[in-house]
Amino acid sequence: MSFISTGLSPSLLRAVAAHGYQVPTPIQSAAIPAVLQGRDVLGSAQTGSGKTGAFALPLLQALENAPPESLRRAALLVLVPTRELATQVGEAFRSLAQHLPRALKVSIVFGGVSINPQMLRLRGGADIVVATPGRLLDLVHHNAISLAQVKALVLDEADRLLDLGFAEELARILALLPQQRQNLFFSATFPPAVQALAQTLLRDPVRIEIQPEPQNLPDIVQRAIAVDAGRRTQLLRHLMAEHRWGRVLVFVATKHAAEMIADKLRKARINAEPFHGELSQGKRTQVLADFKASRLKVVIATDVAARGLDISQLPVVVNFDLPRSAVDYTHRIGRTGRAGEAGVAVSFVSADTEAHFRLIEKRQGLSLPLEVVPGFEPQQLAPAAPVSLDGQPIDTSTGGIKGKRPSKKDKLRAAAASAQSTSA
Ligand code: AMP
């Protein structure tokens, strides 16, 4: 399919050409005509597949054709889960909108920075608002913006926005929007519970599911390396030197680990910075800009960096700590191998995380050999098959992806079971 046959206007075809896009990606071919027809869309396609263009291009066309009196009324609202994604998506709208005959105003708003400049910039209204939910609500409460004229709502990384962490804020925002509107929900992953919730919010949606075909699959080589937990930083340094990795994005489980490992690497004269939710927004922006400009070699990040970020020519992602779920694994490794480039995703697996890794692998439909790097042969043995509190073996092949430590519920169940057996 060509961009012409998607139904895009001449000015947007110019925008597409100016960006060097020759043919629409599969999600764009499917979504652009549906969005142009005003349909709701539930779109799922792998990360880096051109999702932003899939909603931005047809929605810009709707604004291009809108009557003048509807301008600067926040007709288009795009919600995203992280501040960095707000900037990235907002900038994508700005650069695509440059080619339209009429100037459109894109406002990017997110928390963690002073609200006043954002309020000032919203004076006189905006056409497109790209926002994280919390700050958007703050701006509504300060009367800096009204959502009463929103014609189209986009949830980017929709599964994240629809899950519990954002549920309350999202519900409050939805209550402020007109009933009559177009809804576009996009994400790389849509767990079934989230899909069911999405269905209740969408009107007769066009469902677009782009199955990754071999030629569309990001070119990511996935590797798993067995290593003792205490030697992971050394192994990371060894791999960086051996493979001459230019830039590496390293994922860890906690802010503390991010700080600690960045510190260790800096002591070894490696230019590294942590990236997590407790840093000031100024610092987060700086770290990301330095990383994108290759001024920084290693970023040690929590999952706040796992979604949506488009860092071109990022050759390597390392799971220093394994992700909690298979969905997080998909998002993390999707930071590399973007837009047709090659990438490597390496997971460090130690004795106590091997069972967890096998579950992620199973959910991903993968089967990776556990490699051993000479000099880093693991000394620790895998724990014996896990047993529950009442001494029964746990079958880890049937679930429990968040680790095999018993949850509160497991403990309650075990306590109830042992109470029953003692009273019997
Ligand atoms: P996204 O999935 O929206 O984050 O896009 C991933 C990358 O693909 C971005 O760097 C886009 O600029 C690029 N991209 C989007 N659409 C196309 C296209 N039709 N052809 C080539 N590259 C594209």
Residue 218's pLDDT band, with cuts at 50, 70 and 90, is low
Q: Whose CA is nearest to atom 16 of ligand 1?
A: 50
Question: What predicted TM-score, i.e. pTM, was given to this entire model?
Answer: 0.76
Q: Please name the residues in contact with 51: beta carbons below 8 A apart, sequence gap of 6 or more.
A: 27, 43, 45, 156, 186, 188
Q: What angle do CA 334, 337, 339 make, to 5 degrees?
A: 100
Q: Do domains 4-213 and 218-371 have the same CATH topology?
A: yes
Domain locations in the chain as residue ranges: 4-213, 218-371
DSSP E strands, 215-334? 219-226, 248-251, 272-275, 298-301, 316-319
**What is the pLDDT at residue 401?**
38
As for ligand 1, residues whose beta carbon falls within 6 Å of it are 21, 24-25, 28, 48-53, 310, 338-339
Task: Give dist(CA 165, CA 186) in Å, integer.
Answer: 18
Higher pLDDT, 423 or 207: 207
Q: Which of 192, 186, 188 is nearest to 206 (CA)?
A: 186
**Which amino acid residue places its CA nearest to atom 22 of ligand 1?**
21
The packing angle between helices 51-64 and 83-97, to 10°, is 50
The CA-based dihedral angle spanning residues 240, 242, 244, 247, taken in that order and rounded to the nearest 10 degrees: -20
Q: What is the pLDDT of residues 298-314, one digit of tens each?
A: 999 999 888 777 787 78
Check residue 313 and give its pLDDT. 78
The proportion of the chain whose per-residue pLDDT surpasses 90, expressed as a percent, equals 71
Instruction: Please state, as a whole number, how many other Cβ atoms lie within 10 Å of the Cβ of residue 264.
Output: 16
**How far, in Å, CA of 345 to CA of 320, rounded?**
11
CA torsion 84→303→320→280, rounded to 10°? Answer: 50
Report the top-level CATH class of 4-213: alpha beta
- CA distances from residue 3 to 6, 58, 154, 203, 208 in whole angstroms, order as listed: 5, 11, 22, 27, 18
CB neighbourhood size of 394 (10 A) = 16
What confidence tens digit (pLDDT) does each residue in 323-332 have? 999 989 988 9
Task: Find the mean pLDDT for residues 251-279.
Answer: 96
Mean of pLDDT values over 143-148: 97
pLDDT score at 409: 44
Give the DSSP H or E segment for 256: helix 255-267
Report whether pLDDT(104) > 80.
Answer: yes
**Ligand 1 center from residue 180 Cα (angstroms):** 30
- Residue 81, burial from CB neighbour count under 10 angstroms (0-12, 13-18, 19+): buried
For 218-371, which CATH class?
alpha beta
The tens digit of pLDDT for each residue in 164-217 reads 789 899 999 999 999 999 999 998 888 888 888 898 999 999 999 987 665 556
Average pLDDT over residues 15-24: 96
Instruction: Please write the tens of the pLDDT for every residue from 315-354.
Output: 899 999 999 999 899 889 988 877 667 889 999 999 999 9
**Is the pLDDT confidence value at 424 over 50?**
no
Tell me the CA–centroid distance for residue 245 and ligand 1, in Å.
Answer: 24
Nearest to 236 by CA among 254, 221, 248: 248
Average pLDDT over residues 52-67: 96
Span from the CA of 81 to the centroid of ligand 1 (angstroms) = 20
| Pairing status of strand 106-109 against strand 342-349 | unpaired
User: 3-class DSSP state for residue 28?
Assistant: helix
Q: Supply the pLDDT for residue 383.
A: 56
Q: What is the mean pLDDT of residues 91-103?
A: 95
